[in-house]
């Protein structure tokens, strides 16, 4: 396979290259060399995805001081990365949708003119990989060759990103062969920036004032510069699997969603599949790894973060988890909150910005009830419980293969038919523990109004709301009003004869004294049980202005103590408070102008009418 001529003073050395042939390979190689001509790496290496290559990459990062190898007696095959303090989270203010028309990005996205942004990125990417290796990573989201899968290629100068992509996706020559055979693919480009000067040492996490995470929905590309943080560097994840995939889904008639996916198994062995959209800090990972407290019920994990949903020939919606791993928030994950996650992290894990124990293991707030006496914090400084600061960064992470989860389903990579869709937020007031949508359009209306309160509203008033419709506000690659319309179109399709039922849940409602009214965690299975019995026609419901509510006698509360007064409050619907909520929804819709679908404004008017009658 011949090298493509590139106009650089010295062509980069070529490391490992895939032994793949096919009509699509020439275009792929041409693109790789085009990026190399711009970024000027010293070397190009095509990632194979083998265990030996991964092991060598990790060992090289340890040797270079970019990773700390953890004690294999405690965490075999595991490593700790520490990022620059300026690079610890997604940079939403520097995340752009560069659509040809500003209106197509919508008011909730940062829009950039694509021609102007390409000129800007050409400037910052020029020479950005000098002194480093440019890795070429062909990856598949979903099983390689699967009917619901999509593929992409990321070029990057970050070995940390390469190792993480190897966990979060399926990587290797098998994917490259699909491209060579003519399969469509998404182009993604990443550089940590800060090109090296001759003789300069490559630090673990370069500092950059400039950061850009740019999505081109019209050409299906992602370009990310200046950040090594996983959410900005693992471009297969939020960038591709949500922002770009949401555009592909709109164009092709399917949905890319920020959802978990689980299988619920009742005592008779019957299986039900539930997808749930929760914003951050709303119990998403805990539900993905739920251990029911009701005897005889089981939950199998299928995915914890992203779900792709397509209409099937049988009139149902079918879903997959396109990822191969978990990129989870560490703080708050412990044996008392999510023992399944803790057991998943026994080894073969990359931790980022957690604390280091003297014995070579890791720790973070919430892992155990008591903090160790002495630690090295996430910035590499000595720490004790008296230090007055967190030992782990609040957004510290773990990256681990999904297959290690003890609750993972045997067939977790396969598509499953959806029975239930859940929407949830963190609401101290107003929103009941569970409410059922009256139909698909009402369910879309509920999804479009999902929000969490910024502050606890113990006085019973509606607090300031942080809107996150469908938990997709930061991740939708196009105008959210058009996204709402797309959901409505999916539901209106004549082919969708057996749509999943839609429910809203809220584990976080508080009483007047500020305490949580519902125990949560494993006891959330009691709500799931009512939902399953409801869709099977085995449980009744009470009509309310906001949807169908369970009779509190219908909930299985055996073994837990929830006073009747708390149950009454959990399902209380205050017409005055909900009227104010409707006003806030109208304000939220107003920013989209006339692009808001008429079906949603009709739903809002109907809600107000029902509240007035109540």
Active-site positions read 282
523 assigned binding-site residue: yes
What residues does 423 pair with on adjacent strands? 277, 504
Query: What residues have CB less than 8 Å from 48, skipping those under 6 apart?
Result: 16, 18, 171, 172, 173
Burial of 95 (0-12, 13-18, 19+ CB in 10 A): buried
197 assigned binding-site residue: no
69 assigned binding-site residue: no
- Closest of 430, 441, 474, 448 to residue 586, by C-alpha: 448
Distance between CA atoms of 324 and 169, rounded to whole angstroms?
5
Distances (CA, A) of 461 to 282, 299, 453, 514: 20, 36, 11, 13
Could you tell me if 345 and 323 are in contact, meaning their C-beta atoms sit under 8 angstroms apart? Answer: no
Dihedral Cα 467, 472, 477, 483, nearest 10 deg: -80
Could you tell me if 139 and 171 are in contact, meaning their C-beta atoms sit under 8 angstroms apart? Answer: yes
Helix (H, G, I), strand (E, B) or coil at 382: strand
Cα dihedral across residues 124, 125, 130, 135: positive or negative: positive
211 assigned binding-site residue: no
283 assigned binding-site residue: yes
Could you tell me if 416 and 316 are in contact, meaning their C-beta atoms sit under 8 angstroms apart? Answer: no
280 assigned binding-site residue: yes
229 assigned binding-site residue: yes
284 assigned binding-site residue: yes
Q: What is the DSSP letter of 516?
A: B
Could you tell me if 49 and 153 are in contact, meaning their C-beta atoms sit under 8 angstroms apart? Answer: no
556 assigned binding-site residue: no
Burial of 52 (0-12, 13-18, 19+ CB in 10 A): exposed
Could you tell me if 341 and 349 are in contact, meaning their C-beta atoms sit under 8 angstroms apart? Answer: no
- Closest of 139, 141, 134 to residue 171, by C-alpha: 139
384 assigned binding-site residue: no
231 assigned binding-site residue: yes
90 assigned binding-site residue: yes
DSSP-based helix, strand, coil % in the chain, nearest 5: 30, 20, 50
- Closest of 261, 254, 252, 241 to residue 477, by C-alpha: 241
Residue written as tokens 């797309």?
Answer: 486
285 assigned binding-site residue: yes
158 assigned binding-site residue: no
170 assigned binding-site residue: no
441 assigned binding-site residue: no
104 assigned binding-site residue: no
522 assigned binding-site residue: yes
Distance between CA atoms of 450 and 282, rounded to whole angstroms?
11
- Closest of 395, 194, 146 to residue 281, by C-alpha: 395
Could you tell me if 335 and 343 are in contact, meaning their C-beta atoms sit under 8 angstroms apart? Answer: no
Residue written as tokens 């509360």?
Answer: 557
Residue written as tokens 């990822």?
Answer: 323
366 assigned binding-site residue: no
Distances (CA, A) of 580 to 312, 332, 460, 611: 40, 33, 12, 11
- Closest of 227, 225, 188 to residue 206, by C-alpha: 227
430 assigned binding-site residue: no
Distance between CA atoms of 177 and 172, rounded to whole angstroms?
9
Query: Which tokens is 98 given?
Result: 């560069």
- Closest of 607, 592, 281, 273 to residue 445, by C-alpha: 607
Cα dihedral across residues 47, 48, 53, 55: positive or negative: positive
Q: Which residues sit in the known binding site for substrate? A: 90, 229-231, 280, 395-397
Q: Which residues sit in the known binding site for Mn(2+)? A: 238, 258, 305
Q: Which residues sit in the known binding site for GTP? A: 281-286, 397, 426, 521-524
Q: Which residues sit in the known binding site? A: 90, 229-231, 238, 258, 280-286, 305, 395-397, 426, 521-524
């Amino acid at each position: 396979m011949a090298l493509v001529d590139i106009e650089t003073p010295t062509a980069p050395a070529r490391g490992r290259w895939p032994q793949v042939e096919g009509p699509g390979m020439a275009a792929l190689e041409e693109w790789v060399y085009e990026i190399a001509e711009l970024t000027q790496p010293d070397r190009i290496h095509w990632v194979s995805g083998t265990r030996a290559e991964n092991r060598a990459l990790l060992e090289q990062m340890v040797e270079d001081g970019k990773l700390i190898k953890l004690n294999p007696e405690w965490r075999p095959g595991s490593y700790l990365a520490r990022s620059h303090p300026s690079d610890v989270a997604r940079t939403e203010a520097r995340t752009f949708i560069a659509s040809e028309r500003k209106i197509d990005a919508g008011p909730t996205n940062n829009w950039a003119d694509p021609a102007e942004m390409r000129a800007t990125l050409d400037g910052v990417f020029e020479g950005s990989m000098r002194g480093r290796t440019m890795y070429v990573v062909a990856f598949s989201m979903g099983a390689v060759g699967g009917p619901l899968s999509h593929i992409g290629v990321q070029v990057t100068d970050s070995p940390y990103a390469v190792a993480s992509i190897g966990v979060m996706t399926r990587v290797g020559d098998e994917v490259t062969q699909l491209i060579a055979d003519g399969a469509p693919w998404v182009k993604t480009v990443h550089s940590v920036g800060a090109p090296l000067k001759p003789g300069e040492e490559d630090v673990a996490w370069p500092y950059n004032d400039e950061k850009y995470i740019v999505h081109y929905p019209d050409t299906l590309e992602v370009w990310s510069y200046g950040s090594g943080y996983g959410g900005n560097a693992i471009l297969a994840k939020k960038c591709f699997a949500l922002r770009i995939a949401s555009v592909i889904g709109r164009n092709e008639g399917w949905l890319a969603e920020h959802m978990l996916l689980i299988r619920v198994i009742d005592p008779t062995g019957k299986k039900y599949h539930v997808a749930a959209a929760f914003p951050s800090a709303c119990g998403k990972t805990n539900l993905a790894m739920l251990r029911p407290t009701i005897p005889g019920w089981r939950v199998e994990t299928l995915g914890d973060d992203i779900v792709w949903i397509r209409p099937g020939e049988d009139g149902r919606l079918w879903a997959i988890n396109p990822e191969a791993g978990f990129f989870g928030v560490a703080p708050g994950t412990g044996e008392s909150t999510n023992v399944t996650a803790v057991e998943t992290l026994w080894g073969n894990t990359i931790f980022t910005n957690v604390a280091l124990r003297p014995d070579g293991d890791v720790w973070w707030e919430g892992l155990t009830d008591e903090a160790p006496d002495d630690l090295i914090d996430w910035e590499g400084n000595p720490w004790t419980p008296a230090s007055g600061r967190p030992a782990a960064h609040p957004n510290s992470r773990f990256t681990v293969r999904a297959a290690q989860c003890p609750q993972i389903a045997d067939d977790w990579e396969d598509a499953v038919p959806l029975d239930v869709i859940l929407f949830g937020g963190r609401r101290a007031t107003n929103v009941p523990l569970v409410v059922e949508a009256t139909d698909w359009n009402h369910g879309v209306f509920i999804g479009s109004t999902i929000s969490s309160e910024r502050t606890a509203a113990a006085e019973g008033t509606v607090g300031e709301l942080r809107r996150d419709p469908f938990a997709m506000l930061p991740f939708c690659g196009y105008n959210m009003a058009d996204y709402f319309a797309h959901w409505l179109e999916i539901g209106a399709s004549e082919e969708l004869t057996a749509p999943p039922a839609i429910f809203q849940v809220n584990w976080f409602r508080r009483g007047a004294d500020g305490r949580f009214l519902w125990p949560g965690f494993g006891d959330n299975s009691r709500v799931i049980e009512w939902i399953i019995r409801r869709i099977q026609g085995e449980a009744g419901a009470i009509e309310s202005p906001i949807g169908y509510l369970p009779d509190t006698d219908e909930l299985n509360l055996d073994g837990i103590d929830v006073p009747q007064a708390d149950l009454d409050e959990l399902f209380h619907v205050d017409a005055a408070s909900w009227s104010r909520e409707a006003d806030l929804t109208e304000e939220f819709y107003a920013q989209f102008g006339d692009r808001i679908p008429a079906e949603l404004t009709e739903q809002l008017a109907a809600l107000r009418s029902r509240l007035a009658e109540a």
